[in-house]
Amino acid sequence: MTDLKRICVFCGSNTGSRPAYRQAALQLGALLAKQGLGLVYGGGNVGLMGVLANAVLEAGGEVIGVIPQSLVDKELAHHGVTQLRVTESMHERKQTMFDLSDGVMALPGGFGTLDEFFEIVTWLQLGYHAKPVGMLNVEGFWDPMLVTFAHAVGEGFLRKEHSQMVMVEAAPEKLLERFMEYSQPQPGKKWINHR
């Protein structure tokens, strides 16, 4: 069992083309607040990021935004959050978001979301941490990514057990439940050919 205090959520700076994406961010935000879990996120007031942060705030929860100075300067920062941390760089932002949280989720998003989430997954695979990681598969948004995982496993670039470290659920309640039940993996071998 993991003692969770704050969850880091990476998600799009756009809301996407289906209403379900916004809906999922609203649901997850309300759920985090209800469970007494703080949100750590990218600090913006745009896209799914803004929807999620506002949902947590409206439900009385804690929101920590972590944003690089360059994005604050573009006046895109959310100034109504519980705490806004301004970093020098994108790298420092990612590290800070990770350090402040006990688990990491990805909602639908683009390159930013992919970059941020998969760096944390890579750290897990290498045994640098043992925090739960998961993707909220809203209306099958991540299905093509799951096909890519299976392809990488089939082609000998990814261990099946590593691909299974990423929890995938369609419903926020279910994903959060799995985060709560999660127990830390035994450190395994990263390298496929070095047995």
Interface residues toward ligand AMP, by CB under 6 A: 12-14, 42-44, 46, 67, 71, 76, 109-113, 116
Helix (H) or strand (E) holding 113: helix 111-125
Instruction: Compute the least distance from the CB of residue 75 to ligand AMP, in Å.
Output: 9
Q: Which is nearer to ligand AMP, 110 or 140 (CB)?
A: 110
Instruction: Compute the least distance from the CB of residue 8 to ligand AMP, in Å.
Output: 11
Q: Which is nearer to ligand AMP, 11 or 176 (CB)?
A: 11
Residue 57 CB contacts under 8 Å (≥ 6 apart), including other chains:
63, 80, 81, 82
Residue 63 · residue 82 · CB < 8 Å: yes
Helix (H) or strand (E) holding 52: helix 47-58
Q: Which is nearer to ligand AMP, 101 or 113 (CB)?
A: 113
Instruction: Compute the least distance from the CB of residue 63 to ligand AMP, in Å.
Output: 13
Residue 27 CB contacts under 8 Å (≥ 6 apart), including other chains:
55, 172
- Among 95, 68, 104, residue whose Cα is nearest residue 84: 68
- The interaxial angle of helices 19-34 and 47-58, nearest 10 deg, is 30
Instruction: Compute the least distance from the CB of residue 142 to ligand AMP, in Å.
Output: 13
Instruction: Compute the least distance from the CB of residue 130 to ligand AMP, in Å.
Output: 23
Q: Which is nearer to ligand AMP, 43 or 61 (CB)?
A: 43
Q: Which is nearer to ligand AMP, 63 or 182 (CB)?
A: 63
- The interaxial angle of helices 111-125 and 90-99, nearest 10 deg, is 60
